[in-house]
Amino acid sequence: MKFLDQAKIYVRSGDGGDGVVAFRREKYIEFGGPDGGNGGRGGDVIFRAVPNLNTLIDFRYTQHFRARKGGNGAGSDRTGAKSENIVIDVPIGTQIFDDDRETLLADLDAAGKEVLLCKGGDGGFGNANYKTSTNRAPRRADKGWPGEERWVWLRLKLIADVGLVGLPNAGKSTLLSVCSRAKPKIADYPFTTLHPQLGVVRLSVTEEFVIADIPGLIEGASEGAGLGDRFLGHVERCAMLIHLLDGTESSIVKNWRMIRHELAAYDENLAQKPEIIVLNKCDSLTPTQISAKKRALAKASGAPVFTLSAVSGAGLPELLRYVQDRVTETRQAEREATAQ
């Protein structure tokens, strides 16, 4: 299935049904009076987050959603039928923006979460609603109220605990493939990852976390170089970032600073997220080279640096255990904050 994380669609709720003018006419009933019923309510447009979707590709082929009009009223005080609502299923993590692409209307970040985006129009009153002691035979009935319509943008931000960032060919896809059951494309040329990938890392029956791999960043990504930085939106919800660095590169500190600059250029809040620095491809380095590059990174970042060989698995258990502990601490803090 092709990955699509952005789509523009048109939604319109149903108009209300019309009220009617009617009078009761039956044999032996001399003064039947008005009995025109009210119109039915138009259908609403509701968005719902469901767990079995992970792309917005369906909205490339279906872009217009219209709810039905409510039924018209009828004689004998019969109210028109209420139209059914339209429920649009979207992946968890979908944000709904107004047509200006800046005004956030809803954020469906949990399974089952729903939002009423366009409310259906109310039905119009029939003439029975207007009868009074002084107006015994009203001939007034109202049209149904119109529904709401709007163009909206859907933007998907994947839900993951940990995000993988780094230069192309740093080994992000390889790491994802060895620590989860995900099967990303792996090759010896840059930009093999063209869209985000998710994987579930399970350390035990009760311990697991979701990791997200995004296309690599290069210098100038915030200005459109390479694949740009739009995919960084998929790691905005992550509790922490794993910054993977190719240990075979000579300018290791420069590369780290460049990626940090691109993160800050995209969103300062993203750059402030906890970062785990990992020196990858250490199977191609000597112990002296590993020690020197590890010290240089630790001095520049002020944070601990993990060493890893994603191909051989050296250093992987220690890294995953550290990440799982941090994820568990974050979840506990969130639960305590929610309880308060």
> Does residue 172 have a known ligand-binding role?
yes
Q: How far is C-alpha 74 from the geometric centre of its chain's CA atoms?
A: 44
The C-alpha angle with vertex 61 and arms to 121 and 99, in degrees rounded to 5, equals 50
> Does residue 192 have a known ligand-binding role?
yes
Winning range, highest mean pLDDT, from 106-110, 184-188, 197-201: 106-110
> Does residue 193 have a known ligand-binding role?
yes
Give the per-residue pLDDT at 208.
87
Give the per-residue pLDDT at 335.
82
> Does residue 261 have a known ligand-binding role?
no
Contact 169, 28 (CB under 8 A): no
Q: Cβ–Cβ contacts within 10 Å for residue 21, how many? A: 18
User: Which is more confident, 185 or 309?
Assistant: 309
The C-alpha angle with vertex 57 and arms to 55 and 62, in degrees rounded to 5, equals 135
Domains and CATH numbers, the chain: 1-156 (2.70.210.12), 162-339 (3.40.50.300)
Element (H, E) at 98: none
Q: How far apart are CA 247 and CA 285, in angstroms?
A: 7
> Interhelix angle for 252-266 vs 287-301, to 10°?
40
Model confidence pLDDT, tens digit, residues 47-59 = 999 988 888 888 9
Three-state secondary-structure class, residue 105: strand
> Does residue 52 have a known ligand-binding role?
no
Residue 225 is encoded by which pair of tokens?
């170089």
Q: How far apart are CA 117 and CA 130, in angstroms?
A: 32
> Does residue 213 have a known ligand-binding role?
yes
Q: How far is C-alpha 161 from the geometric centre of its chain's CA atoms?
A: 14
> Does residue 113 have a known ligand-binding role?
no
Residue 143 is encoded by which pair of tokens?
């049209």
Q: Cβ–Cβ contacts within 10 Å for residue 5, how many? A: 22
> Does residue 309 have a known ligand-binding role?
yes
> Does residue 291 have a known ligand-binding role?
no
Averaged over 82-111, what is the pLDDT?
92
Contact 32, 85 (CB under 8 A): no
Asked if the model's pLDDT at residue 1 lies above 60, the reply is: no
> Does residue 5 have a known ligand-binding role?
no
